């Protein structure tokens, strides 16, 4: 299928392009990343984000996509349609994840966030505005799980109500990335709607295993892909500033894989340095090779993990924990190994930490493409996607 015959896609809050990659590679077999994407039904015609550097990354990897580095509140839908060479009703999809800051647990100590009064919550309305004015055949919205919490019940009800009024019959579900072959225990909510009003059915998990909150799982499915499996064929080089030094450097090196600062409390085998549950879970957190990674942080502090399970000597010969290297971050996000990123190490961490893991996005978009008739079931997993019995969950 030539680019001219592919359905154009509008990408909002695009960031470095996790959902955009999923759109581009939706025809690739699950958990495969060929050098060139398998020709599929969609092309990302236009992408917008307020962070120019993230769009520079997207443009570097998807040069045929028109990019708009501007606040969505100052970007008319007509301009997005014009830049994507579309008219109303021609877009195959609108995709995007409005910034999660207003709904992130990390901001719950702020009163305006606890009470769901954050002004950035209006970005959900901007997403609805573009759907209303562009009338795509379908849309996919992604956000943090906290959007579904009681704290933000009114915002979520308004979002679903507005999309329902447009005739899209929105369906939503919280998905665990590891359940779809991503070596990361990241939970995200997806909202999907079709212009024809037919209910979207979410894909059934293809993998299973213990998570941070559950020790029960479907043992008939393949086990979650571990960080060790994800890194198995990877050869990396040391990166500047990768060792964890400073006040807690020595303590971090003593934390075993799979443990965090709690190792250094009176209940575990390390030093008695911290009070029980006095820090965030990610403080001094180390990966373990036999389990998926915890959620990658977009803006971690110097002692916020997950860090690699291996220690390396510093220039004084002292063992120190090390941060994850960029190729390892890409593997944990199921991005292609040859994906190029703009900016410093901190910039790269922010772009990837804010992104949608490609295989998670691909699973949702592949299910949608199959149900819309744009892909043919070509594997047992595709048959599962067509048979999936995911249902809508309504907030009353």
Tell me, yes or no, whether 26 lies in a domain: yes
Q: What is the rounded CA–CA span in Å between residue 69 and residue 338?
A: 24
Tell me, yes or no, whether 248 lies in a domain: no
pLDDT, tens digit, 9 for 90 and up, residues 3-45: 678 999 999 999 999 999 999 999 999 999 998 999 999 999 9
Query: Residue 180 has which token pair?
Result: 């779809």
Q: What is the rounded CA–CA span in Å between residue 166 and residue 14?
A: 23
Question: Residue 153 in 3-state DSSP?
Answer: helix
Residue numbers of the domain that contains 138: 3-218+356-387
Q: Do 184 and 333 touch, CB atoms closer than 8 A?
A: yes
- The count of other CB atoms within 10 Å of the CB of residue 115 is 10
Tell me, yes or no, whether 393 lies in a domain: no
Per-residue pLDDT band for 108 (boundaries 50, 70, 90) equals very low
Q: Do 139 and 192 touch, CB atoms closer than 8 A?
A: yes
pLDDT at 385 > cutoff 60: no
Tell me, yes or no, whether 360 lies in a domain: yes
Tell me, yes or no, whether 351 lies in a domain: no
pLDDT, tens digit, 9 for 90 and up, residues 298-345: 989 999 999 999 999 999 999 999 999 999 999 999 999 999 999 999
pLDDT, tens digit, 9 for 90 and up, residues 176-185: 999 999 999 9
Query: Residue 172 has which token pair?
Result: 């939503």
> Of 324, 325, 323, 319, nearest to 251 (Cα)?
319
Question: Residue 6 in 3-state DSSP?
Answer: coil
**CATH number (domain holding residue 63):** 3.40.50.150
pLDDT, tens digit, 9 for 90 and up, residues 35-47: 899 999 999 999 9
Distances (CA, A) of 366 to 11, 172, 192, 343, 390: 17, 16, 12, 31, 14
Per-residue pLDDT band for 384 (boundaries 50, 70, 90) equals low
**C-alpha of 122 from chain center:** 21
Tell me, yes or no, whether 314 lies in a domain: no
pLDDT, tens digit, 9 for 90 and up, residues 119-141: 545 899 999 999 999 999 999 99
pLDDT at 166 > cutoff 80: yes
Q: What are phi and psi of 192, to 5 degrees?
A: -130, 135
Q: What is the rounded CA–CA span in Å between residue 274 and residue 286?
A: 17
Q: Say what the pLDDT of residue 146 is.
A: 87
Q: Do 197 and 238 touch, CB atoms closer than 8 A?
A: no
What is the rounded average pLDDT for all residues in the chain? 90
Q: Say what the pLDDT of residue 211 is.
A: 80
Tell me, yes or no, whether 246 lies in a domain: no
> Of 221, 193, 217, nearest to 207 (Cα)?
221
pLDDT at 99 > cutoff 90: no
Catalytic residue selected from 100, 175, 330, 341: 100
Q: Do 390 and 202 touch, CB atoms closer than 8 A?
A: yes
Share of the chain above pLDDT 70, in %: 89
Tell me, yes or no, whether 178 lies in a domain: yes
Per-residue pLDDT band for 349 (boundaries 50, 70, 90) equals very high
Q: Say what the pLDDT of residue 71 is.
A: 94
Element (H, E) at 189: strand 187-194
- The count of other CB atoms within 10 Å of the CB of residue 262 is 20
Domain count, the chain: 1
Active site residue 345: no
Q: Say what the pLDDT of residue 353 is.
A: 95
pLDDT, tens digit, 9 for 90 and up, residues 244-283: 999 999 999 999 999 999 999 999 999 999 999 999 999 9
């Amino acid at each position: 299928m030539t680019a001219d015959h592919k359905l154009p896609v509008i990408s909002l809050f695009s960031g470095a392009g996790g959902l955009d990659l999923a759109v581009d590679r939706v025809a690739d077999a699950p958990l495969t990343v060929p050098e060139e994407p398998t020709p599929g039904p969609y092309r990302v015609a236009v992408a917008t984000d307020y962070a120019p550097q993230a769009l520079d990354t997207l443009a570097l990897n998807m040069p045929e996509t028109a990019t708009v580095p501007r606040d969505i509140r100052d970007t008319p839908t007509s301009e997005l349609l014009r830049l994507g060479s579309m008219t109303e009703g021609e877009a195959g999809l609108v995709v995007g994840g409005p910034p999660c800051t207003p709904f992130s647990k990390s901001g719950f100590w702020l009163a305006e966030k606890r009470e769901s009064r954050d002004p950035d919550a209006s970005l959900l309305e901007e997403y609805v505005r573009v759907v209303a004015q562009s009338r795509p055949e379908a849309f996919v919205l992604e956000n943090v799980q906290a959007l579904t919490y009681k704290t933000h019940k009114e915002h979520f009800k308004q979002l679903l109500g507005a999309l329902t009024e447009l005739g899209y019959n929105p369906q939503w579900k919280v998905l665990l990335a590891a359940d779809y072959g991503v070596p990361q225990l990241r939970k995200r909510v997806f909202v999907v709607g079709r212009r024809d009003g037919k209910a979207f059915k979410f894909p059934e998990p293809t993998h299973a295993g213990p998570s941070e909150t559950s020790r029960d799982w479907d043992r008939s499915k393949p086990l979650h892909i571990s960080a060790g499996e994800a890194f198995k064929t990877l050869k990396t080089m040391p990166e500047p500033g990768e060792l964890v030094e400073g006040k807690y450097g020595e303590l971090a090196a003593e934390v075993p894989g799979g443990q965090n600062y709690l190792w250094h409390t009176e209940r575990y085998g390390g030093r008695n340095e911290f009070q029980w549950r006095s820090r965030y879970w990610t403080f001094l957190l180390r990966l373990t090779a036999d389990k998926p990674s915890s959620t990658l942080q977009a803006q971690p502090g110097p002692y916020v993990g997950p860090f690699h399970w291996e220690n390396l000597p510093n220039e004084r010969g002292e063992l120190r924990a090390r941060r994850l290297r960029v190729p390892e971050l890409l593997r944990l996000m199921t991005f292609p190994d040859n994906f190029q990123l703009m900016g410093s190490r901190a910039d790269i961490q922010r772009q990837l930490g804010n992104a949608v893991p490609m295989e998670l996005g691909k699973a949702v978009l592949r299910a949608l493409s199959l149900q819309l008739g744009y892909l043919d079931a070509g594997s047992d997993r595709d048959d599962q996607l067509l048979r999936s019995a995911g249902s809508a969950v309504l907030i009353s």
